[in-house]
Amino acid sequence: MQNTIVPAAGASGAPSTLFIDGDWRAAGSGETFASIDPATGEHVGDVSAADAADVTAAVRSARAAFDERRWTRLPYPRRAEIMFDIADRIDAAAEELAVAEVRENGMPLAGALRTIQNGAQAFRYYGGWVGKIRGETGEVAPGEAYHAFTVKEPVGVAALIVPWNGPFMLACHKLAPALAAGCAIVLKPAEDTSLNTAALVRIAVEAGVPRGVVNMVTGLGTVTGQALADHPDVDKISFTGSTATGRTLVRAAAGNFKRLSLELGGKSPVIVMDDADLELAVPGVLTGIMSNSGQACIAGSRLYAQRGIYDRLVDAVSEAASKLVVGNGMAEGTQMGPVISRRQLDRVLGYIDSGVAEGARVTTGGSRVGDTGFFVEPTVLADVPAGAKVVREEIFGPVLSAMPFDDLDWAIAQANDSPYGLGGSVYTRSLATAHTVARAVRAGTFWINTGRPQDFTMPFGGYKESGWGREGGLQGVEAYLETKSVIARLY
Ligand code: NAD
């Protein structure tokens, strides 16, 4: 099925995936690149490759919309209504959008549908914040002579830079709070997954978001993304992606002290105690690492299991992993799709080889599946040495590294011995152990006896090199706001 929501090629024949000042356009240079189906290697469509001049046009459009208050001058009930309408339109097109998501990203269709519906819910949740954003009254010396209060104001032009691993949903998770806060936006999807994000922009415009408030530029991160990050008229960057790119953005932001939200990589530890309920731990560990082919920032990729349960757990997780149905996300019954690209395939296989070279034992998987598309077997590496590369670095693939432990303090120390601090979990029947470990692990999200439910009502973000700031909840809106103090003399 074709995604009819994605704009057709422009009159010039060049693809028109740039959305600037209310118009779909090709890149000024006419350059394009291909979007590839990771399950088949087939060409899905062409994407416009924006250069710095295109980015400047998009930023100017957003700046004009912001300065003219085209969005914030709409009464708040109307803004909320538009956001709820975006949600309804996403839901109405959910199946079509899910198919398009599978074609670009590869994830199984049922999971893709859930991510699309989650994106719709984000617009309902954040639409509910519109009209509820408010400041505080304060007191300044000498007391009654002054009236002091704070006002929350949108930060301005926000650049939203999104990765490919949950492209539509992650774009929604940024666009919805940025709109709720009153920003004007330039959205930049990832190279591999730009087409379905164009559909989101089209839906936002059809729902009534005024001209120039939402713009989109597609293109290479190092060209288009970098130009956006460097642009002096961008006030805020909200980025989800790799820690390496996050570091580049910190430097880019220094030019005009852009506000920065960074949702970066992870290497989340899973600690399983001898007293754990295996009925919970086995599926929890499995989905924690294998969902989305391991391409999740929050993936539980390091398993520390207490000695008494270690062998049973590794065997059970390996057996369950070996039974996962790997295939085209569009095929009935597929539980795990491909990784996103040839580059990612080579990277993941390279990590598996390095784990084996450093002494790990492969209990299941370890190889590519077939020779069409980019499929990797769900892989469990057991008895991995603590300092191995597969334990230290984010693989972003379906690869679990398992290690036994005797002493919980050692396991906690290992869990924290990482530059990352995005997530973690513990499986135990002991309430005291559960809460002790939850407090001891330095991570932005922690789960007890569960794999990984996430909800945008809950703040989400990383400690250490996993990022700056939080998305989700009120903090997610605050990330797009400035606070102004107003002090009025009364007499
Ligand atoms: P990436 O950093 O390569 O790319 C992410 C986005 O940044 C893309 O849109 C890309 O075009 C753009 N980009 C790349 N270089 C840029 C530059 N120099 N300037 C501006 N923009 C640039 O990451 P990826 O490989 O697409 O995504 C995988 C990474 O994302 C993993 O590390 C994963 O952990 C992380 N991630 C984090 C979260 C989170 O919430 N913490 C969620 C999903 C993914």
Dump the DSSP string for 404-429: EES-HHHHHHHHHSSSEESEEEEE-S
Q: Which atom of ligand 1 is nearest to the CA of 460?
A: 40
Q: Which of 237, 238, 245, 250 to mutate to test the pocket of ligand 1 (most atoms within 8 A of CB)?
A: 245
Token representation of residue 61 = 């459009």
- Are 83 and 71 spatial neighbours (Cβ–Cβ below 8 Å)? no
Q: Is the CB of 227 under 6 A from ligand 1?
A: no
Residues 145-162 pLDDT 10s: 999 999 999 999 999 999
- Are 180 and 83 spatial neighbours (Cβ–Cβ below 8 Å)? yes
Of residues 250, 296, 161, 188, the one with CA closest to residue 468 = 250
Band (pLDDT 50/70/90 cuts) for residue 7 is very low
The catalytic residue among 101, 104, 263, 377 is 263
Distance CA 399, CA 69 (A): 48
Residues 201-225 pLDDT 10s: 999 999 999 999 999 999 999 999 9
Kindly report, as residue ranges, where domains of CATH 3.40.605.10 are found in the chain.
Answer: 18-264+466-486
Provide CB contacts within 8 A for 370, sequence distance 6+: none
297 is catalytic: yes
Ligand 1 centroid, distance to 397 Cα (angstroms): 15
Ligand 1 centroid, distance to 386 Cα (angstroms): 27
Kindly report, as residue ranges, where domains of CATH 3.40.309.10 are found in the chain.
Answer: 269-455
136 is catalytic: no
Ligand 1 centroid, distance to 236 Cα (angstroms): 16
> What integer is the mean pLDDT of 293-297?
97
Residues 355-365 pLDDT 10s: 999 999 999 99
Q: Is the CB of 96 under 6 A from ligand 1?
A: no
Strands 300-306 and 399-405: parallel
Q: Is the CB of 264 under 6 A from ligand 1?
A: yes
> What integer is the mean pLDDT of 116-131?
97
The CATH number of the structural domain formed by 269-455 is: 3.40.309.10
Ligand 1 centroid, distance to 450 Cα (angstroms): 26
**Fold of domain 18-264+466-486:** Aldehyde Dehydrogenase; Chain A, domain 1 (3.40.605)
The pTM score is 0.96
Q: Is the CB of 221 under 6 A from ligand 1?
A: yes
Q: Is the CB of 163 under 6 A from ligand 1?
A: yes
For residues 16-33, b (16+ Cβ closer than 10 Å) or e, as one string? bbbbbeeebbbbeeebbb
